[in-house]
A and B are shown apart, each in its own frame.
Chain A
Amino acid sequence: MTATPQSSSVAPRSGPPEPVGAPPKRSGRPYGEWLLAALLLLPNLALLVIFTYRPLADNIRLSFTDWNISAPVAHYIGFDNYKTWWHDPNAHEVLKNTLIFTVATVGISMALGLALAILLDQQLRGRNLVRSAIFAPFVISGAAVGIAFQFVFDPNFGMIRDLFDRVGITVPDFYQRPGWALFMVTATYIWKNLGYTFVIYLAALQGRRADLDEAAEIDGASAWRRFTKVLLPQLRPTTFFLSITVLLNSVQVFDIINVMTRGGPQGYGTTTLVYQVYRETFVNSRAGYGATIATIMFLILLVITVVQVRVMDRGMRRD
């Protein structure tokens, strides 16, 4: 190995003492080191550039064409697809669905995840089992989750129908009514994603300084004040991390919608941006238009993330 040891970049530890003859930083063979780094990085960068960045650039190029997925050639048509999208009445419904689905999943799964994390941070019998049970849905395939909840919401023999029949309440047909169908896929995804927000919040709670909370308690602060003035500010970096990762994940949900509703009912009842890209590209064969929607989706995500980072930065500086 040509690597020059970089003792100065590592925080001092209680381990073995620094050898006296250790070369100071950058005095070795920097070019050898650069060469090794390049060798180690090359396969990664090549893969990312060829199979991630290039297809994404290609997607933007295709968004300016009239490419039909079954046709060999695509013609350049400028911003026509973007104009079509702007006037597409379905696009508005899709945007609305995406907004409702995303805001609900981000908000509710984060709030519930925090509540559960606070609850299971306590000393309770069997809490490890409960923790695993809450976490498990997050790592289960979305397709399998979709199948499970298809039966939960089934209008004829589903679990929800069964439960509500007992107390004499008629449940709506979740598959036929667009608003209820959107509710159904949203609830299903919240169920799946809760495991993620829960474990991340729990890890943050376990890593926090409990003494602040105890001090506030001794000072006579109410539970609510301790929650809003002590706990929430401490959890702010975690909340920020979750708001970005949950948003990016929930905007991309495809499997649950595909398995449960295929974007319906009544046309676009549960179609979100991702699902519209799929429908236009692979169902309607309008691959150029699908690429346009994918590009628009990317731009929206980019803007939201930049705004989130800005807001968070300002919040951090104020503290």
Chain B
Amino acid sequence: MDTTMSNKAKNGLGLVSIVIMIWTIIPLLWIVATSLKSDAALADPKQNVLGNFWPKDISWDNYKLIFSGGASDLFVPALWHSIIVCVVATVISVALATFCAYAISRLDFPGKKLILTSSLAVSFFPVIAMVTPLFNLWRQVGLFDTIPGLIIPYLALTLPLSIWTLSAFFQQIPWEMEQAAQVDGATSWQAFVKVVAPLAAPGVFTTAIIAFFTAWNDFVFSSNLTAQNAQTVPAALNFFTGASQFVQPTGAICAAAVIVTIPVVILVLVFQRRIVTGLTSGAVKG
């Protein structure tokens, strides 16, 4: 491929990829830049460089506003809710999905296909169709606007996905290794811990990442099943107000959007290969 390509063609392709980079990166840089502008810079283009893009003087006011200033009452609890709800939901969902995927790929019982199909079929239902009945139920049992009231729908959201992804991973594990270890004198538990767990760990980890960012980015459940006691950051972004009610909270919203984006960008940069393997596992199986 590359050996047959001329240098000229290579340069052309390089140029195209730079253009693509700009197309994907600029909108993100735009939020970062806006979050670093003071109120004065937001109002006056002369205080910015690169055609009103980047502020001449970087201001951390917006971050102060959301972490300790007027908007902190809204943002800080929302950030905690996001972290708690998503971590708990991810851990429970991946643990349960691991049981399920282990049973499907390892044990012999009737109805395997039915279980896989029924967990996949969930993705054909519009998520919004679950919101109203849950809203109704949550108000009756007192789970509306509570942390568990959000963890449960996130389990429903991530569990089918995790079962499907993990089953695909577990199909590829050479399970006979476990048996071989037992023949060599290891107990079932030792065989599981020393042989199976290390083989299964990458798949479990990948599934956890995908489950985490699915929950982290949810907007539908959080904006409709919570008010303030359990609201997560994506939903809270809608309720920002400025330093006073007459100031547009543009900078503060952008600062909050940057904070909520940082964890997933780090995940992508570090684990992109794994995430892609997880996302394609369903495609490969067909």
Contacts and interface: CB of A to CB of B under 8 A. Distances in A.
Contacts of B250: 151
B174 A10 contact: yes
Contacts of B145: none
A141 B107 contact: no
B126 A294 contact: yes
Nearest to B109: A37
20 contacts: A1-B189, A16-B180, A33-B109, A41-B100, A44-B119, A45-B115, A47-B152, A52-B125, A122-B2, A135-B276, A141-B260, A143-B238, A147-B257, A148-B27, A162-B52, A202-B276, A241-B282, A255-B219, A258-B219, A301-B125
A305 interface: yes
A114 to B, nearest CB: 14
A311 interface: no
A78 interface: no
A55 interface: yes
Centre residue among B152, B179, B265 by max chain A CB count within 10 A: B179
Contact of A141 (B109, B123, B124, B219): B219
B261 A140 contact: yes
Contact of A33 (B13, B21, B108, B174): B108
B265 A133 contact: no
A81 interface: no
Interface string B22-39: 011111101100100000
A56 B130 contact: yes
B133 interface: yes
Given A136-B264, A141-B257, A281-B132, 9 more contacts: A15-B180, A47-B156, A52-B160, A54-B133, A59-B130, A59-B133, A122-B1, A159-B30, A203-B277
Interface stretch (B57-65, B66-74, B200-208, B266-274): B266-274
A282 B224 contact: yes
Contacts of B216: 141
A108 interface: no
Which 5 A/B pairs are nearest by Cβ-Cβ distance?
A123-B2, A255-B219, A294-B129, A55-B133, A58-B133
Given A44-B99, A122-B2, A148-B30, A277 B14 contact: no
Interface string A272-303: 01100110011000010011001101100110
A131 interface: yes
B238 A133 contact: no
B106 A144 contact: no
A99 interface: no
Nearest to B51: A162
Interface stretch (A82-90, A171-179, A226-234, A246-254): A246-254
Interface residues of B, number: 105
Interface string A1-19: 1011111011001011011
A16 B176 contact: yes
B227 interface: no
A26 interface: yes
Instruction: Give the interface SS of chain B, mostly helix, strand, loop or mixed.
Output: helix
B178 A51 contact: no
B265 A136 contact: yes
Interface string A130-156: 111111110111111101110110000
Interface in A107-129: 116, 119-120, 122-127, 129
A124 B17 contact: yes
Interface of A: 1, 3-7, 9-10, 13, 15-16, 18-19, 21-22, 25-26, 30, 33-34, 36-38, 40-41, 43-45, 47-48, 51-56, 58-59, 62, 69, 116, 119-120, 122-127, 129-137, 139-145, 147-149, 151-152, 157, 159, 162, 191, 194-196, 199-200, 202-204, 207, 210, 237-238, 241-242, 245, 248, 251-252, 254-255, 258-259, 273-274, 277-278, 281-282, 287, 290-291, 294-295, 297-298, 301-302, 305
Contacts of B106: 3, 6
Contact of B134 (A22, A51, A69, A251): A51
A131 to B, nearest CB: 7
Contacts of A295: 129
Contacts of A191: 23-24, 27
Contact of B130 (A52, A122, A210, A297): A52
A131 B272 contact: yes
B197 interface: no
A67 to B, nearest CB: 8
B20 interface: yes
A22 B179 contact: yes
B280 interface: yes
A93 to B, nearest CB: 18
Interface string B103-123: 100111110000100110011
